[in-house]
Amino acid sequence: MGADEFRTRQSARTADEAFAIRVEQARYKDGNRGYTGTIAEKDDFRMEQPRKDETPRGCVNRCADDDAHWSGDKRGPAACVDGGPDPKRPGLRIFYFFGWASA
């Protein structure tokens, strides 16, 4: 079996809430039998921090493109970057999730 890269975002109050929403939506859309290549395969996530003067999206791109950082780890946790307040939804934050998943 192989692996696919995924990148997705979700607005919520917390990263935990955003992760739960996004996983549930992916399982509804892509199924929960395994090997979907989506965030539906993930049970957990870890936070990544932008470097000084790096945007949240820049952090996602840097981490996702860094082979030494990820090593195509389809079994490990998803990564999450806090994108800050959602300008369209007061009181919520944008969270970016990315990583590799079994496909």
pLDDT mean across residues, the chain: 90
Report the range of poorest mean pLDDT among 29-33, 81-85, 90-94, 98-102. Answer: 29-33
User: Tens digits of per-residue pLDDT, 30-75?
Assistant: 887 788 989 999 999 999 999 999 999 999 999 887 765 555 578 8
pTM here is 0.91
Beta-sheet strands, E only, within the chain = 3-12, 45-47, 78-85, 93-102
Q: Is the pLDDT of residue 1 over 70?
A: no
